[in-house]
Chains A and B, each alone.
Chain A
Amino acid sequence: MSQELPRTATGARPMRKLPLDFEAFHRMYRPIYVHWAEIRLGSRADAEEAVDAAFEKLLRAWSTVLTKENPTAYAWRVLRHTTIDFSRARDRRPALIGEAAFETVALSQAVDPIGQFEESLSLYEAIGQLPPRQMDVMLLQFGQGFTVEEVAAALGITPAGVRSTVRHARRRLEHAYGVKRRLEATRPESAAQGKREDDGECDDFVRSGSEEGHADDIAH
């Protein structure tokens, strides 16, 4: 790819400077973009490449981007779609979010590494089933340890919006785990079927999983 600088020997072409506001935007959000893309793509190098591609798109249409009602939120969508494209181009499925389980701090300190790995794997796979916005917020806040304010700024939403998204996501995860446990529990003896007051929510969870798949399919 065009990672190299244009050789000045060939060019009378002076190197174009980035617009100042673009440069500032890039400086402000690039780290969090890269950290997010790292989870989606599994490596720093791929993340850099995808984020480069996203910023290039933004740069090419920068004046249009600035007219958007919420340029930051818009830029985040560009990043998201570009990264998903990128992972498709490499034949990767979004499910690879589960690979993050190799990289947890907890794993590096675990007394029971296999147990810890399995735990993180299933958690990240569950997060990978969340709707896009919830997935992004959970990955950034809990995976990468960004603060609510940092996440809000990068996604172009309010901190209150981030908190409420986290609340929804946590609920879905609870239900996902709840369903799993119930399945495990009811398999031997199907007596525990009495109390199922939250069936609707379980359906909701399942539906959201397919939504995410759908959204990703259509995205490109």
Chain B
Amino acid sequence: MPMTSHIDELLARARLRREPYTAADIDAAATRLAARAAVRWDAPEEPRCPTPDTRNARGSADADPAGTDPADADPVGENALGKNPCERGAAHETPADEHCSGSGQAREGAVDESSAADDLQTLCETVITHTGALADLRIFLARALPEPSGARVLGCMLQLSEREESARFWWQYAAGAGDPAASYCLYLHHRALGEHGAADWWHTQHAQTDAEAGPEVEITTTLRILRALKPDDSPVPEPVNAVLHYVPAAVAYVDDDLDLPLPDPDFTDRVRALTALTATAPASSTPAAPVVGGSAEATRRTRKRKPLPERRRPRRTATGSTQSPAPRKADST
């Protein structure tokens, strides 16, 4: 394609003259910040909003089930990412006043970016651990066309593995086939990225596809209650964990011309093998084999990826060895 190289040429000539940023610049800035912080924190005339200090992002939602003002839960979220019209243009001045006076005007029904991200995490964890998830995934590629419910589960797994772009693709697939949970995932996904236009659009789609669902407040409240109920290290069933480790390595952009995050050819077989663990040995073996046994391409990608346990909620250590058991053996010899 000649156009590709055309863009590449343009981009190559787009480099800006970069004025260096020196250590001295950073030091000066740090001094400035310390000074500003000291002045503003100590100044008695600076009113703080009553709530943010005493409520953290996760606790507050539970105390506020009506979801009257979810944005309130997070001081930075509202100051910096805020929806308050009165805050417009005031970012370089003290934001506290506008913050207080305008907090009631947050976009109605809006979930702010950070709570959307939290909600999405909870929703994905719920989707992949619900009892039918693996069955959905197994059916996923067994048919001529992938099933929407399986695509939704795959999307959630990719999201939890920090493969947002690929997750979005599969949610879009599922949502296009009328899967309401997938459109809700997309709504939260775009909201979390601050892409409000797209978020609103998917929210509308969700409302249309899932007519009997309650108002959004109920969904967000449910997610928050779920989060509160779930201990941070709530166990993930071993087969789910196994698939969770396999999926990000197995789904990849095939090449530059076909821009779809497609699973490896043997994906179905491997998922079937992994989920068969449910019946045989629920928690005994770690899911190392499939990754190692995968194509060379998959193995290479796996090494480059950061290990999954960096997710907010630490998993049990047994699964940490998935990454590359072979090198570990090499180390010990």
A104-B15 in contact (CB<8A): yes
Binds A, one of B32-40, B134-142, B204-212: B32-40
CA distance A217 to B278 in the complex (A): 49
A69 lies within 8 A of B14 (CB): no
Closest 10 CB pairs of A and B: A214-B197, A89-B89, A85-B91, A211-B197, A106-B13, A78-B80, A61-B76, A31-B21, A16-B38, A218-B196
B165 proximal to A (CB < 8 A): yes
Q: Is the CB of B16 within 8 A of A100?
A: yes
Q: Is the CB of B89 within 8 A of A85?
A: yes
Determine if A105 and B17 form an interchain contact, defined as CB atoms under 8 angstroms apart: yes
B91's partner among A89, A100, A173 (CB-CB below 8 A) is A89
Q: Interface SS of chain A: helix, strand, loop or mixed?
A: helix
The CA-CA distance from A132 to B81 in the complex, in Å, is: 14
Q: How far is the CB of A203 from chain B (nearest CB, A)?
A: 14
User: In chain A between 166 and 220, which residues have their CB closer than 8 angstroms to a CB of chain B?
Assistant: 167-168, 170-171, 173-174, 177-178, 210-215, 218-220
Judged by DSSP, the binding face of B is helix
B76 engages A142 (CB within 8 Å): no
Select which of B41, B79, B256 is within 8 A of A16 by beta carbon: B41
The reply to whether A167 and B197 contact each other, CB–CB distance below 8 Å, is no
Check A108/B21 contact, CB under 8 A, given A53-B91, A60-B76: no
Given contacts A106-B15, A158-B162, A215-B195, contact A5 B92 (CB under 8 A): no
Interface centre among B1, B16, B33, B89 (most CB of A within 10 A): B16
Binding site for A on B (CB under 8 A): 1, 3-4, 6-8, 10-19, 21, 25-26, 29-42, 52, 56-57, 74-76, 79-85, 87-92, 95, 107, 113-114, 117-118, 121, 162-166, 193-198, 200, 253, 256, 259, 304-306, 311-312
Interface flags for A110-128 (1: CB within 8 Å of B; 0: not) read: 0000001001100110000
Instruction: Give the total of A residues in contact with B, Cβ under 8 Å.
Output: 94
Contact of A57 with B95 at beta-carbon distance under 8 Å, contacts A77-B81, A177-B3 already known: yes
Known pairs A69-B118, A104-B13, A158-B306. 18 more at Cβ < 8 A? A13-B38, A18-B33, A27-B26, A31-B25, A34-B25, A58-B76, A60-B76, A61-B76, A65-B76, A74-B76, A77-B194, A81-B91, A89-B90, A142-B14, A144-B15, A157-B162, A165-B165, A211-B198
9 pairs from A and B in contact (CB 8 Å cutoff): A18-B34, A31-B26, A53-B92, A78-B76, A81-B91, A86-B91, A164-B165, A170-B11, A174-B4
Q: What residues on B are CB-neighbors of A213 within 8 Å?
A: 197
CB within 8 Å of B: which A130-157 residues: 131-133, 138, 142-145, 157
Q: Is the CB of A64 within 8 A of B57?
A: yes
- Give chain B nearest CB distance to A104 CB in angstroms: 6
Q: Which residues of A contact B3 (CB under 8 A)?
A: 174, 177-178
Q: How far is the CA of A215 from the CA of B165 in the complex (A)?
A: 19
Provide the bound-state CA to CA distance between A149 and B162, in Å: 16
